[in-house]
Structure 1
Amino acid sequence: MTVQVEVSEQTVVDLMNAGRLDEAERLLRGLLAASTAPLHLVRLLALAVRGQGRIAEALDLQLQLVDALPGDFSSRFDLSESLLLLGDFERGWREYQWRYRMPHTSAIERKVQRPRWNGAPMPGQTLLIHDEQGFGDTLQFLRMVPAAKARSGARVVLDVMPELLSLAQRMEGIDAVTEKGTLPPAFDKHCELMSLPQVTKLTLDDLPGPVPYLTPDPKHVEIWRKRLANLPRPLVALVWAGRPTHGNDANRSMSLSDFAPLAGLGLTFLAVQKGPKAAEALTPPAGLRVEALDSHINGFEDTAAILSIADLLVSVDSSPVHLAGALGRPAWVLLPFVPDWRWLLERTDSPWYPSLRLFRQRSRGDWATVIGELGTALAALRG
């Protein structure tokens, strides 16, 4: 019987990797009907159900699993993402703290030999806030640093990855900004950037807070204003794929060819796409006017300048979306059927960024409907 379960479990994993979630669910329910089935199959069932958009049902399964196995940190992280996706920030942030107890994330945890800040006032002391995870995560949660300073009464030092250093240095409410990988000044307590919501007990009602909280560099803006001056408007910055190593990239990313139905709208698309997919801008779909800017974009300062000039950003779920939102620039975001937790469910706006509009898949993998709705909205923009 054990051998049969192992074989069937691998079949389940293969089905899920192939996106055949309904088949995986049926097989899992059959396995779980047997009393000898391992309990961790409930986690796979929750993931299969969640991937089909039944978030509340997945949440029930995750709660059961966490009650039975409170030390299963992967299940606790799954639970946090479902809670946050449903807007339950109070419980969601509490469970999100377990993100560094999983094997694949423990390696990136900062080992800091100082106490973690618990939200209490600490006047006369220094608080180190350090970034974590991806660019989008950092851009989104930089908003929390001035609030942490106000709450703590401390001197705040922000330690941030070099790609975002100059943007962070122009923020208000931060005493010093250091580059990740260098030795920060002496500090008394520390906090991860994405632990600030839990420490400060952030709720949906607290959002969006002061926006914009990032500003473009005027020198970069002037350079790009001259470079883009002769292009016909409207200028629509475009990103069609995220980072390939992201765990959900297969669901969230597209190809430039998917935008072929938008040809003929009379728009100029500014390809601010980076990474392996950027080369697609060199051979765009027929009739789609695309300016390939990848070779001229040397970092987020260039992207910020372009977004400050463009009329709109259209993008899949990626870091430029967060940059646009943090700058207070308009962006239309194309989301998969089950989005990342920060986009919540059903709504067409974002509590994090007032300047964003969300376009959601109505079924798994259905980008065609999203592009159709996007085309209608862009035609209205064109007038």
Structure 2
Amino acid sequence: MQQCLNTGALDQAEAKARAVLASGTGPLNIWHMLADAVRKQGRIEEAKVLQEMMLEHLPQNVALRFELAETLLLLGEFDRGWREYRFRYSLPHTTNLERKVQTPRWDGAPIAGKTLLIHDEQGFGDTLQFIRMVPWVKKRSQANIVLQISPELASFGRRIPGADKIIIRGELPGPFDLHCEMMSLPMAMKLQMSDLPGEIPYFRPDRARLEIWRKKLASIRGPKIALVWAGRPTHLNDANRSMDLAQLVPLAAENKDITFLSVQKGPKSDEANTPPENMKIVNLSDDIQDFEDTAAILSLADLLISVDSSPVHLAGALGRPVWTMLPFVPDWRWLMNRSDTPWYPDMRLFRQNQIGNWGDVVSEMAKAIPAFLKSRA
């Protein structure tokens, strides 16, 4: 049964689990595998029912609570979803990521005259997505806000309003009264869909860096589309969200006047050095030193086409057009069955219609590019 799940034989895994559970009772691990098989097939409401049933019997099982949180958020059930999401650091593979803080977590109440430490967490994309809430927290809390952020995104943190002090992750923050993880802010603020997206853009590119890249790209005539085709290899879901550059060839086949700009980082960036035939691509990867470079490039490109990775959040925060390619069952933040997102008004979502099928996604985008470029002209 587990092997069926691991190899993607989801219907077989489901059938085997249902056979064991035909009497209506059975071991927790079989119920768990059934819920997993159902969810991966896109039957999210059905998975939710199974997860809630298991939690009725095992309310202290934090792994189940976290899985339910992701299901609730995927369904857009924010109230309970944010509350359950606080269990994200109680799992075997995440306990080492939690930063132990001795002061209470902020609950959303006004705390004028006190100091609130907001610390970023998890991936760059998470920070880029949720840092928009810092000005909202400032307005609600009336606190002195210390924002602790990774060095890679510190320059953006310094340009967003709301933080009275910026410190780099690992530095001592000084005295503070309360704290809140950046992705616990939605729980504290009771974030609703109607609160989104807030002010867009909430980032702007660095002017000096923008001029540097304007000169570098000046010789490229015609439309420019930035590409990212793979996420961070160590990401737990990377196999489902990443692809090879060769799979994007249809974008060029139907749009021969476009120059593609590779802003891909990591091991997959080398694929742009030997691009597929008839794909006009400029590999910028080696010249991109940080997110400031990427922000400048995205501000000059007509469009970013990317898998679900941090550049899509950067483009969205900049208010730049971005098309995000999503697996059949996406990460919770993209919801289900919609081509737009409440998080970023200039983002369009292209979803797999079956597990692992990127071909139809790329074909749909290739056909949509001419109309998009015409609208921008």
> TM-score scaled to structure 1, two decimals?
0.95
Residue equivalent to 2:243: 254
Residue equivalent to 1:170: 159
Q: Provide, for residues 236-287 of structure 1, a one-character-per-residue CA deviation record: whole Å limited to 9, x for no partner.
A: 0100011111111111111101011222412111100011111111111111
Residue equivalent to 1:343: 334
Residue equivalent to 2:271: 280
Offset of 1:72 from its aligned partner? 1.0
- Partners of 1:145 and 1:24 lie apart in 2 by 44
- Partners of 2:192 and 2:373 lie apart in 1 by 37
Residue equivalent to 1:43: 32
Q: Which of 96, 99, 104 is equivalent to 1:107?
A: 96
- Partners of 1:19 and 1:295 lie apart in 2 by 36
Q: Which of 311, 322, 337 is equivalent to 1:331?
A: 322
Q: Check conservation: 1:157, 1:174, Cα contact below 8 A.
A: yes
Q: Provide, for residues 298-356 of structure 1, a one-character-per-residue CA deviation record: whole Å limited to 9, x for no partner.
A: 11011011011111100010000000011111101111111111001111111000110
Asked if 1:214 corresponds to 2:203, the answer is yes
Q: Check conservation: 2:341, 2:349, Cα contact below 8 A.
A: yes
Q: C-alpha root-mean-square deviation of aligned residues, in Å? A: 1.2
Q: 2:371 is paired with a residue of what secondary structure?
A: helix
- Give the aligned residue type for 1:286: E
Q: 2:34 is paired with a residue of what secondary structure?
A: helix
Residue equivalent to 1:145: 134
- Give the aligned residue type for 2:270: A
Offset of 1:34 from its aligned partner? 6.3
Q: Which of 306, 318, 331 is equivalent to 2:309?
A: 318
Residue equivalent to 1:359: 350
Q: Check conservation: 1:131, 1:192, Cα contact below 8 A.
A: yes
Offset of 1:380 from its aligned partner? 2.3
Q: 2:28 is paired with a residue of what secondary structure?
A: coil
Asked if 1:24 corresponds to 2:13, the answer is yes
Residue equivalent to 1:309: 300
Q: Check conservation: 2:134, 2:161, Cα contact below 8 A.
A: no
- Partners of 2:244 and 2:119 lie apart in 1 by 34
- Percent of aligned pairs with the same residue? 58
Asked if 1:297 corresponds to 2:315, the answer is no
Offset of 1:63 from its aligned partner? 0.6
Q: Check conservation: 2:71, 2:332, Cα contact below 8 A.
A: yes
- Give the aligned residue type for 1:318: S
Q: Check conservation: 1:269, 1:290, Cα contact below 8 A.
A: yes
> TM-score scaled to structure 2, two decimals?
0.96
- Could you tell me which runs of 5 or more consecutive residues in structure 2 were left unpaired when the two chains were aligned: none
- Partners of 1:294 and 1:187 lie apart in 2 by 40
Cα distance, 1:35–1:173 mapped onto 2, change above 3 Å: closer
Q: Check conservation: 1:168, 1:214, Cα contact below 8 A.
A: no
**How many residues are aligned here?**
372
Q: Check conservation: 2:76, 2:335, Cα contact below 8 A.
A: yes
1:98-137 counterparts in 2 under 5 A? 98-137=87-126
- Give the aligned residue type for 1:60: V
Residue equivalent to 1:64: 53
Residue equivalent to 1:187: 176
- Partners of 2:54 and 2:287 lie apart in 1 by 49
